[in-house]
Amino acid sequence: MLAVSLGELAAQFGCELKGDPAATVDRVATLSDATAGSISFLANQVYRSVLATTRATAVIVRRDDATEFAGNALLTDDPYLCYARIAAVLHPLPAYPEAVHASAIVDDSAVIGAGTHIGPNTCIAANCVLGERVYVGAGCVVEAGVHLGDDTRLLPNSTIMHGVQIGARCIVHPGAVIGADGFGNAMSRDGWVKVPQVGSVVIGDDVEIGANTTIDRGSIENTVIADGVRLDNQIQIGHNVRIGEHTALAAMVGIAGSSVIGKRCMLAGMAGLVGHITLCDDVVIGGATMVTKDITSPGVYVASFPAEPDGDWKRQVARFRRLGELTKRVRQLEKGKSDNE
């Protein structure tokens, strides 16, 4: 393990240090599970009481919370952000040697950058371009004409379809499929006629794509995922969708075709967008919320139904079904009152 002194961490990440600058840490841990040699953090006040008993060598806290911990502390305005950066230092991504496994199939026309690692049972098709230090995990399929930027990682069993472009320092988690056909069909008298999906997918730099997430290729123009986007697991992105910089989508979000999501938006789990609508920058969509029209003002939008006892829910549904009748009666009463005046 890599051991780093608190003095080094404080200097690197602009923290105020309370305690011994020579003390070292080599791993991160929760407050409750921490032991000597680990560093933890407090970002949620729910866990403030645990500070007094944690055995961590150091904690990352706001200045207001530092009095609750007698040991070493890194003081910062945003403990969670600081923790993320320190965790990346103490737990770096695995390093892989430059190599092409004997079982990999790499087309002669593919361009492979220096330091790239291609794992077992992979397929790199014709005219692919892989940048420097790219990692292609076991069982990945990279179809013809794909471009992968420097330091991008395809984790095992991910599939990149033909012509897709992925920028630098991206991470594609296992089972993700990028560039499969979008859902394009035209109805004829004899049934559905498949609409060719002739666009591609263009992904910027520093994008992370979760396990079993799918990003469909464009029907005519490209599907575009901008720099810094974060996609959780099991997300569906339809054809021609455009997602702005640093937007984050949580698990099981579904985005129908040709929707546009602005910059720095956040969509909670199971949220959905119908097709051909636009979200402006800085919009937050709550869990299980369905968006059916454009959102033009930044803010938080929620329209889900939290779980409640079955009997209460059934009574509310019954009342809802009678709203039409009640509305009609109210109108009749108002009309009668108006006629009598």
| Catalytic positions | 239
Residue 237 near residue 218 (C-beta atoms within 8 A): no
Token pair 């709550």 is found at: 286
